[in-house]
Each structure stands twice: as C-alpha cells, then as structure tokens.
C-alpha cells in the first residue's frame, strides 16, 4: 500500500480553501484523497476538486473532513509539497495527520452539497456499504442512522396512544427512503 504525491503548495491550498467554502456540513464527514493520471483528487461532501500532481498511489487516503480543511492555514511553506502515507498517518512535510486507507477505485457515490438526512440514508438503496465507506461517507451515514433512530423513537412515543409502534414508523421511513433513492 503506497501513496506518495507531490503538489504545488499554492494550488493545493487553493483547493482546500475552495472545498472548505463549499462544504458547510454539520455532520461528521471524511475527505478522500485519490491519485490518478497526474491528478490528485480531493473528494468531499458534494464534490471533488483536482490539483495537478506527480507521484504514485495504490490506495486512497481517508481523513476527517473538518481538520483536513483547516490545513490551509498551517501548510508547510514548502513547494512542491509531498503528501505521503505511512502507517496510518498522512505526512505533509512536518505535519502528520491520522488517516485510513482503502483500495483505490473509481468513486461511485455522490451526494449533493449539504445533504439532508434522507439523501444520506437513501444511499443504502443505491450503493453497497463498502462503496459508501470508500467514498468517505461512512461517518456521515452512521450519524444519519442515529438521527433516524432518535426521530423514530420520539415519534413512536407521541403516536403510541394511537397504536403506532416504532416498527410501523421504521417501515414507513424505509419505504420513503427507497422511493427517494429511485428519483
């Protein structure tokens, strides 16, 4: 497993700043770095941005989204800047960020900017859990499932006197998610 690419510092910082402006998500999310054909692709919720790069990579690198975008303020003053994966850490010159990796594959999963809970949960009816995870949406998906569970419990308490159970509501919600995924 290898990931070592060099990028122009100014261009990379520009991508970080642009994606940070576009990504106004309150839910946890990941950023995924992938390298293909002379381009480093930075994938985030709602889109991807390329930056010209040299190097080679056999894996994609997954990083927590919020801290990653804050890098724009503290990038080392080195250009070109080398991004290298080494044992659960992405190193950018003197900076070290905890990360995970996955086998490098094309990205199949896309979400709109600022996705709603229904957008996130309906992914399951279009993509495998593995595809969702590889695309950097695993944390966001888990958080959306927690939110769904909380909302169903609240609604079941309110509608309980009418004989409506949590199972009834779960079936209703799942039906709506399937319809949403078919749009």
Percent of the chain with pLDDT over 70: 91
Q: Which residue did the predictor score with more confidence, 126 or 26?
A: 126
Give the 3-state DSSP-derived string for 140-176, with helices as H, strands as E and coil as C: HHHHHHHHHHHHHHHHHHHHHHHCCCHHHHHHHHHHH
Question: Domain check: are 9 and 82 in the same one?
Answer: yes
Q: How many domains does the chain have?
A: 2
Asked whether residue 26 falls in the same domain as residue 77, the answer is yes
| Segments forming the whole domain that contains residue 165 | 117-182
The pLDDT score that the predictor gives to residue 165 is: 94
- pLDDT band for position 154 (cuts 50, 70, 90): very high
* Residue 95 shares a structural domain with residue 32: yes
Do 89 and 30 belong together in one domain?
Answer: yes
Mean pLDDT of 53-80: 83
Q: What's the pTM?
A: 0.60
């Amino acid at each position: 497993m290898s990931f070592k690419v060099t990028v122009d510092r100014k261009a990379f910082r520009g991508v970080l700043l642009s994606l940070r402006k576009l990504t106004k998500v309150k839910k946890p999310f990941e950023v995924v770095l992938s390298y293909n054909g002379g381009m480093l692709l930075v994938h985030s919720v709602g889109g991807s941005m390329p930056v010209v790069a040299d190097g080679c990579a056999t894996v994609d690198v997954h990083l927590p989204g919020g801290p990653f975008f804050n890098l724009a303020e503290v990038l080392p003053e080195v250009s070109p800047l080398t991004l290298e994966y080494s044992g659960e850490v992405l190193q950018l010159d003197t900076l070290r960020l905890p990360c995970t990796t996955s086998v490098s594959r094309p990205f199949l999963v896309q979400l709109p900017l600022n996705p709603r809970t229904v957008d996130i949960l309906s992914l399951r009816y279009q993509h495998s859990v593995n595809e969702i995870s590889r695309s950097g949406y695993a944390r966001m998906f888990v958080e959306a499932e927690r939110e769904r569970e909380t909302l169903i419990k609240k609604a079941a308490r309110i509608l309980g006197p009418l004989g409506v159970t949590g199972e009834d509501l779960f079936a209703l919600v799942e039906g709506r998610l399937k319809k949403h995924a078919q749009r």
